[in-house]
Amino acid sequence: MKRKIIVTTTNDIVGRQVVEYLGIVRGIVVRSAGLGKNIMGGLAALGGGNISQFEEVCEDARKEAHIRMVEHAREREADAIIGMRYDANEFSQSITEVLAYGTAVVLNDVVGGVA
């Protein structure tokens, strides 16, 4: 069974204290929507509004980047990732990079060090 990793966008975790900073962990995914989704998304874009074909590609890329970031934290034997963020860059019209990153940390059991 894989050890649970706490992931938060904040810099602290209620009831826990950071006892060691392990450094930055990241997960990166480079995706293309593919020909079918590009065509369907392009047609949907003509009508305006939300384009569900592209939304699905973006959400899948974020999920995969998040999974890879958590795996990186497990490799470093972290208890948590604090300050987690997403970033995205477009390489070309249909190729996008999604990066999930944060700081891997080791936590004590309870603030004050008492178990």
Residues 6+ apart with CB under 8 A from 29: 61, 64, 65, 68, 97, 98
Q: Are the C-beta atoms of 88 and 97 separated by less than 8 Å?
A: yes
> Residue 55, Cα to own-chain centre: how many angstroms?
16
Would you call 74 helix, strand, or coil by DSSP? helix
CA distance 106 to 11: 13
Tell me, what's the pLDDT at 56? 75
pLDDT in tens, 46-96: 555 555 556 777 788 899 999 999 999 999 999 999 999 999 887 776 778
| Residue 29: domain span | 6-107
pLDDT in tens, 8-48: 999 999 999 999 999 999 999 987 755 445 444 454 455 55
Tell me whether residue 29 is in a domain. yes
Report how many domains make up the chain: 1
Q: Give the CATH number of the domain where residue 16 resides.
A: 3.30.110.70
pLDDT in tens, 70-81: 999 999 999 999
Tell me whether residue 95 is in a domain. yes
